Chain A
């Protein structure tokens, strides 16, 4: 049973560029949440997708957007990248029960 997978593993982008990160949820899960984890901090909630709609959003600007596909996989898009966007981006999946989340290994984004 495959767990949560994320791609790519690492990414280097230049300030002002756009980036797309991808996530496939654990088999049987229908809800995907995205988190940003800066160095030395806990994960910060970006948003959650369920039934292909953004269900809840944390305190992140509109430069952060997402999408969920009919197969429950999800994308996180970040526009106009800033140096401060450099972080580990974690995807977590769950089945309706929001708090029982399974995390992927993350995508390390470096903005130069």
Chain B
């Protein structure tokens, strides 16, 4: 049973446009959510996080939105740059449980 889902295995976006990566979760106990970016041959790098008491968190070009009633979060990247091309993992946390989604491969085309 996948508690954290990323239903789009891949996404292609034109440079300068908005990238929207989606994540759904099933466990209402999750109280903290994170996005990680992973380049080949490197470990995941922390991008941005959001607590369950908020619905939006912004950091530069990255914004994460949380819809608790829908158990859905999304990562917006504006504007998208070729260097953003990577695999993006959504992760959820509560207590000592830390669950990653399967990832979405983002390709930003020049």
Interface residues of A (CB under 8 A from B): 4, 33, 35, 40-45, 48, 55-56, 90-92, 98-106
Taking a contact as CB atoms under 8 Å apart, the answer to whether B89 and A106 are in contact is no
Q: Point out the residues of chain B lying under 8 angstroms from A106, CB to CB.
A: 43
Complex CA gap A48/B98 in Å reads: 11
CB within 8 Å of A: which B68-110 residues: 89, 91, 93, 96-103
Q: Which residues on the B side are within 8 Å of A105 (C-beta)?
A: 41-43
With A90-B43, A104-B43, A105-B41 known to touch, is A98 a contact of B93 (CB < 8 Å)? yes
Whether A4 pairs with B98 at a CB distance below 8 angstroms is no
Q: Which residues of A contact B101 (CB under 8 A)?
A: 42
Nearest-neighbor residue (CB-CB) of B9 within chain A: A40
For B19, list chain A residues within 8 Å (CB).
none
Chain A contacts of B93 at CB under 8 A? 98-99
A to B contact number (C-beta, < 8 Å): 52
Given A42-B4, A55-B96, check contact A100 B46 (CB 8 Å).
Answer: yes
Asked if residues B89 and A42 are in contact (CB atoms below 8 Å), the reply is: yes
What bracket does the count of chain B residues touching chain A fall in?
20 to 34
A43 and B100 within 8 A (CB): yes
On chain B, the residues within 8 Å of A40 by CB distance are 102
Contact across chains for B103 and A4 when beta carbons are under 8 A apart: no
Known: A90-B44, A103-B43. A42 touches B98 (CB 8 A): no
CB contacts (< 8 Å) of B36 on chain A: these are 103
Given the complex of chains A and B, what is the CA–CA distance between A98 and B98 in angstroms?
9
Whole-angstrom CA separation of A102 from B45 in the bound complex: 7
Chain B residue with minimal CB distance to A44?
A: B100
Task: Give complex CA distance A45, B97 in Å.
Answer: 8
* Residues of A with C-beta under 8 A to B49: 99-100
Nearest A residue to B2 via CB reads A42
Chain A residues with CB under 8 A of B45: 103
Set of chain B residues within 8 Å of A55, measured between Cβ atoms: 96
Find out whether the CB atom of B96 lies under 8 angstroms from the CB atom of A48: yes
Give the residue of A43, A92, A98, A99 whose beta carbon is less than 8 angstroms from that of B89: A43
Query: In chain A, what residue has the closest Cβ to B36?
Result: A103
Known: A41-B102, A42-B89. A98 touches B43 (CB 8 A): no
